[in-house]
Structure 1
């Protein structure tokens, strides 16, 4: 299995929504594949060194950050599956506002011909926005080493393509499959240390992290967008 990000998160389309096909193999078979997001590890440690950061830790622990809400605005969803005899491509170009903390998000549902697909890829395309619907927003609460709690807000407003890939998916018309995009939110704080947050500039008591506010901390979180998700399949 190859792991990429995610992304982030939980793209909610109406259950049973089918992605528009731009090319489709004519083989028989009606195996159904639905993608869902499975967020986990909402609280991460924030240590004095990187080796102590990004670890799973109890909510409200000292030296931790807990994500409590978040949204992503997806501009396009692309799906590809390739077997030895065919390549399946689906594309959906439509804007969706997504609650990342929905516990049962559905990306969509795709019917695939029976085959063993050596490569399966799902891509979420995020576009920079000139209005309030920016690609990604996360909010949470940082608890420092003394137990003081400080609100944290992360705003990402850049073009970005979030990919999740997997290998060797066997599709049979007798089974339905769930592709779980596992979002491990603790890994989003990898390489972030306590000095980053204690030294961060605050706006009305809030640590705002964006391309124009606490830019060095923003760069660390942005780098983690590629490493905090993977994908597996269940039937």
Structure 2
């Protein structure tokens, strides 16, 4: 169920993405592909037991009442579909076993550090003057670097076992969840197929989601 990229989420993305290490934006120097929705370039932190990921949770929010998403691919970038015909199977096997680290751009690293470490409770793994690395569930990681934020776009989501409990906990830490008309949220939660999702923003306007539901491939 694809929808306008500037105003609504790509529902199918929710079924393909998981925070914590399945997909991510490439680090600077490797090309730029903006995440579209939950499964289009987003990172998934597995939150069942820690706190992460989501699969089909929609997208970022363009404005109040609407959850945005559609990814915007750089006109000079090439899709993996074109590359698969030329890459040897050994190369694909190596990448299939590699850990994926999601990259999130922010304008203020100190402010981001406080938000992700203190409010979201993500463990700090490494810090440099240019980027901060956080851990998440199932060995997944997220790199926060200085740059231009993807305001209004869902950049990652967390897979959780109890979405209501997560909302209560994060709300008590000062995190504000969003309400939308599309998909319709009730008490911050939207029903999307077999899954339920909710969204919040970081201080720079990057949108993150929490998702409760079956994960493709199992756990």
Q: TM tier, shorter chain? A: under 0.3
Identify the structure with bigger relative contact order (alpha carbons < 8 Å, sequence gap 6+): 1
Rg (Cα) greater in structure: 1
Could you tell me the TM-score, scaled by structure 1's length? 0.25
